[in-house]
């Protein structure tokens, strides 16, 4: 069934050789796809077969900011604890919009779901985890940067089995004061307790941002889970 929600706009960095894999990466609160697009351009040099899609979040009224409109994937009630009230309806709405982008890659561009990596930073990390764990598509991997697992008291009742074995790259700075490092630790522990294959990377003295080592690790992850497909040579 087609979505009744508006299609997300996005900054797209096309593959520079034959397109055989796609990374869909969601930005954090208050940002836009353009904020992460330079990372796609940088990494594309090493994974030229990968198309990078950086969607733009819509402007939403944010409770924690007194109702001010800001680019966001869901409303933020509070970040005082990982157990705060969460905007489930906002997550479901954004999930539906992201799934439309995925379906377009699969159905229109003929990229199998197992050649798609879903990821994000901060709020985008939260959304990518939620979308991947509840999706019927089996993805190549998930990249979770500086975020947390949403709806942890009920998410295990919402997950599908499709991505139970999908590798999850998790990166978090131990000096993050926005999404605290302990939230990442608690989320990773929860996922591991539920048998998800999470690789937790800690970045010393990194705040709520990315660093060169994290991007190098991210590149290695992409090269592992969506390697360039070599052409099959015809037999003589």
Q: Which of 31, 75, 87, 176 is catalytic?
A: 176
Residue by residue, DSSP assigns 73-138 as SS-----S-TTS---HHHHHHHHHHHHHHHHIIIIIS---GGGEEEEEETHHHHHHHHHHHH-SS-
User: Catalytic annotation on 122?
Assistant: yes
Among the listed residues 175, 208, 209, 217, the single catalytic one is 208
Residue of 31, 87, 94, 122 with catalytic role:
122
Q: How far apart are the C-alpha atoms of 124 and 148, rounded to whole Å?
A: 10
CA distance 223 to 45: 12
Residue 176 bears catalytic tag: yes
Q: For residues 197 and 178, what is the distance between their CA atoms, to the nearest angstrom? A: 25
19 is a catalytic site residue: no
Q: Which residues are catalytic?
A: 122, 176, 208
């Amino acid at each position: 069934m087609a979505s009744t929600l508006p299609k997300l706009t996005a900054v797209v960095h096309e593959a520079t050789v034959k397109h055989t894999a796609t990374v869909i990466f969601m930005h954090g609160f208050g940002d836009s796809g353009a904020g992460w697009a330079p990372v796609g351009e940088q990494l594309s040099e090493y994974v030229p077969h990968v198309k990078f899609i950086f969607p733009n979040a819509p402007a939403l009224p944010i409770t924690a900011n007194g109702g001010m409109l800001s680019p966001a994937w869901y409303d933020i009630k509070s970040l005082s604890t990982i157990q705060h009230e969460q905007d489930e309806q906002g997550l479901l709405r954004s999930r539906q919009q992201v799934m439309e982008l995925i379906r377009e890659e699969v159905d229109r561009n003929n990229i199998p779901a197992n050649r798609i990596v879903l990821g994000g930073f901060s709020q985008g990390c939260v959304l990518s985890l939620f979308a991947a764990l509840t999706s019927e598509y089996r993805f190549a991997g998930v990249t979770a940067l500086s975020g947390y697992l949403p709806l942890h008291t009920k998410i295990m009742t919402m997950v599908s089995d499709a991505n139970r074995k999908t590798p999850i790259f998790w990166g978090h700075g131990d000096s993050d004061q926005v999404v605290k490092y302990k939230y990442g630790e608690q989320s990773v522990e929860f996922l591991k307790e539920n048998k998800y294959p999470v690789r937790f990377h800690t970045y010393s003295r990194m705040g709520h941002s990315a660093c060169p080592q994290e991007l190098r690790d991210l590149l290695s992850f992409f090269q592992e889970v969506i390697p360039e497909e070599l052409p099959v040579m015809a037999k003589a």
